Chains A and B, each alone.
Chain A
Amino acid sequence: MTRADVRKTYKLYIGGAFPRSESGHSYVVEDAKGKFLANAALASRKDARDAVVAARGAFGGWSGRTAYNRGQVVYRIAELMEDRRPQFLEALSSSEGLTSRQATAALDAAVDRLVWYAGWADKLTQVVGNANPVAGPFFNLSTPEPTGVVAVLAPQQSSLLGLVSVVAPVIVTGNTCVVVSSFARPLPAVTFSEVLATSDVPGGVVNILTGDATTVGPWLASHMDVNAIDLVGLAGSPELAAELEVAAADNLKRVHRAPAAEPDWALEPELDAMTRYLETKTVWHPIGV
């Protein structure tokens, strides 16, 4: 008799805990060939709001960490992903229908991307900050600071490399986030949340909701305690993306617009992947008075 395996319940990740959706709803996740894979939690409006509360609660502590420490924590995520390679490869193969070789390439790139971003934590300030030579007796310094709570509608196609590519730049700079995973391919995101929970990322810094960005997205876009939103998960849906951008104007969220098509995540990111969620603070101080 073959042993029946013990299957995992796929849950949301909010404030460092793994709740089911408070709504009690789940949805069927199929593999690339249409075969049943799992029931994933279907995030509700309340889940989204809970996640924003968790992200806001974590913001002060996370943004107050030293840059060196944030770099180490993000690097630690890469270490733990490496530890779970078989699980990620299986999730990638089934979710995205990748060959073993393609899945390996995607996973390698995702881990390497985290390492790349980890190194930025204590360098970005030097690259994008400035001492300003004002015409007067003042010390004048401009430095980047995190915007706050960022809502991230993660890419629909690239369920791990794309996910990591939109989450890492947000958190390495000191923001916290609420992420809505790929709707059809949520399982790599859930596994990623389990990595986060066992790494040194404080609860609430990354909150991951599985579900439909087209329904959860509007709640996040109109949430008055969210400071920025990445609409990349709505690539190819310009009308809905425009609606969310309109909603985001209610508290002047920083909006990263949805591209016409999902970007090629294999390319090295540009600095603005990080700087679009940064504010520049300029401090003036008199000299000699």
Chain B
Amino acid sequence: MTTSADPRATFDYAPAPESRAIVDIKPSYGLFINGEFVDGHGKAFKTVNPASEEVLAEIAEADDNDVDLAVKAARRAHRGWSRMPGAERAKYLYRIARIIAERSRELAVLESIDNGKPIRESRDVDVPIVSAHFFYYAGWADKLKYAGYGEQSLGVAAQVIPWNFPLLMLAWKIAPALACGNTVVLKPAETTPLTALLFAEICQQADLPPGVVNIVTGAGGTGQALVGHPDVDKVAFTGSTEVGKAIARTVAGTDKRVTLELGGKAANIVFDDAPLDQAVEGIVNGIFFNQGHVCCAGSRLLVQESVADDVLHRLKRRMATLRVGDPLDKNTDIGAINSAEQLARIRELSAVGDAEGAERWSPPCDLPSHGYWFPPTIFTGVNQAHRIAREEIFGPVLSVLTFRTPAEAVQKANNSPYGLSAGVWTDKGSRILQIANQLRAGVVWANTFNKFDPTSPFGGYKESGYGREGGRHGLEAYLK
């Protein structure tokens, strides 16, 4: 499309790349155990820039023995850390929050390079919330007696996090654990280890006592060794429902406490009285934020039949303005898919959507020749039996369904084994409250979507997992 009617014509931005000079990526990284970087004894692996397929660094893999060393370091450190007055623990967390803010641009650039997410998001969403999360939980460390969950730490927490929000998920795991006096062994995802390793450096700068935070890199095997280690007291996992179930089986019959934050297939419900332009922004944010690599993504649009054509027309017009490309370009809306494996899954499920008879649409867009890319995509004519309406695609792919009555909307929204999040768009306040009450989901966004805050509990119903992260509720998982 090159006619003057092309809305992109008015949004023809010159490249505005963020400099990557601020980041110093080392050729290889070790494990962070007991306050020091040490060699791993597994088979080292490479992390690549998903926007270019360029190899960024070689990363050590922790084998069972390395995991054991990390757990032992955390166990030794727990004694001192848990007995340290809360006010002192707090000061370390405040230091970390401040250093993250000081090094925020570096963290944002590194996150975008390793993950593929647009710099606009890593800079304006991920990293600021990371710093805020540490700042928030720092203040709890000496106020636990007011929270209502006791004041005693659990011990050593084994934490396994995903690749979609690498540093943010690290913050959600580590900040409350440390505030409550636990020590941690954290495993970042194998495709996005770099910001966690930079965080390890930040722990050193903050003079955090050795062993309080340990970071072991690796793939599924490292995660299994960590979760299954007999001397961990607590397992916290964010990732797929399939792995979450495996973890629940692994810890069965033990005394380990568990929180799981898993998949989702959120309904984003648009009623006929919604402010439609605002709703379209919410739909776009709901499914295309972070390339749709969001467990709480609004991946099922439920639109009231009477406005469906209008909403789709506006949505397509808006999607045509989305800029897909270089994650480090400040104008980019949609970055790279995180890995070849994830791209294959998105393609596979989209092909299933075609095969099952749904109608696929993407705006015309030029995708870079290297790297992993998928255009923003919607499927219309989707019904509830379609796999693209039931399974988590975890990419920039929206399934559109319609409804006639509020009861039908609620029934369709809840017709899922997941229950992480949902959205409601309507101008009628009483309807928001009614629908929000009936949705079986842990987070409901009314006339907004994908908002996160350190004070606000996040977590799912049903097969989206159990436990809450964030807010006062987030302390419960780390206290006995």
Contact = CB atoms under 8 A, between A and B. Distances in A.
A248 to B, nearest CB: 8
Interface in B411-467: 417, 432, 436, 441-448, 451, 453, 455-459, 461-463, 465-466
Contact of B473 (A138, A238, A245, A280): A280
A270 B148 CA distance: 11
B444 A284 contact: yes
A136 B457 CA distance: 15
A182 to B, nearest CB: 23
Max chain B Cβ within 10 angstroms of own Cβ: one of A245, A280, A284: A284
Interface stretch (B248-256, B298-306, B355-363): B248-256
Contacts of B448: 138, 284-286
B245 A130 contact: no
Contact of A252 (B241, B442, B457, B472): B241
Contacts of B132: 135
Given A227-B462, A281-B444, A249 B245 contact: yes
Interface residue range, chain A: 35 or more
- Residue from B132, B253, B443, B447 with most neighbouring chain A CB atoms (10 Å): B253
Nearest to A245: B252
B245 A282 contact: no
A136 B459 contact: no
Contacts of B148: 127-128, 271
Contacts of A283: 436, 443-446
Nearest to A137: B448
Contacts of A255: 252
Residue picked from B246, B278, B451, B458, most chain A C-beta under 10 Å: B451
Interface in B160-190: none
Contacts of B455: 132-135, 140
A132 B453 contact: yes
A183 B443 CA distance: 41
Nearest to A131: B455
Given A252-B260, A285-B432, A286-B447, A132 B456 contact: yes
B244 interface: yes
A263 to B, nearest CB: 16
Contact of A138 (B442, B444, B451, B471): B451
Given A252-B245, A252-B262, A286-B446, 19 more contacts: A130-B471, A132-B455, A132-B457, A134-B453, A134-B456, A135-B455, A248-B248, A249-B245, A249-B248, A252-B463, A280-B459, A281-B436, A283-B444, A284-B444, A284-B445, A284-B451, A284-B456, A285-B432, A285-B447
Interface of B: 132, 148, 241, 244-246, 248-249, 252-253, 260, 262, 278, 417, 432, 436, 441-448, 451, 453, 455-459, 461-463, 465-466, 468, 471-473
A281 B447 contact: no
Contacts, number: 109
B253 A284 contact: no
A254 interface: yes
A66 interface: no
B456 A252 contact: no
A132 B245 contact: no
B253 A282 contact: no
A280 B475 CA distance: 13
A142 B244 CA distance: 24
A136 B453 contact: yes
Contact of A280 (B253, B457, B463, B465): B457
B432 A252 contact: no
A130 B442 contact: no
Interface in A269-289: 271, 279-286, 289
Interface of B is mostly: mixed
Contact of A282 (B278, B443, B462): B443
30 contacts: A134-B453, A135-B455, A138-B448, A142-B456, A241-B253, A245-B253, A246-B249, A248-B248, A249-B245, A249-B246, A249-B248, A249-B249, A251-B417, A251-B462, A252-B244, A252-B465, A252-B466, A254-B466, A280-B468, A280-B473, A281-B436, A281-B442, A282-B443, A282-B444, A282-B456, A283-B445, A283-B446, A285-B432, A285-B447, A286-B448
Nearest to B251: A245
Contacts of A134: 451, 453, 455-456
A47 to B, nearest CB: 25
A132 B466 CA distance: 20
Given A242-B252, A249-B249, A251-B462, A282 B244 contact: no
B424 to A, nearest CB: 9
Contacts of A132: 453, 455-457, 471
Nearest to B443: A282
Contacts of A242: 252-253
5 shortest A-B CB distances, which residue pairs? Answer: A242-B253, A245-B252, A249-B248, A134-B453, A132-B455
Contact of B471 (A136, A142, A246, A250): A142
Interface in A232-253: 238-239, 241-243, 245-246, 248-252
Given A284-B456, A285-B446, A285-B447, A279 B249 contact: no
A281 B441 contact: yes
A289 B456 contact: no
A252 to B, nearest CB: 5
B104 to A, nearest CB: 16
Interface in A133-187: 133-136, 138, 140, 142, 147
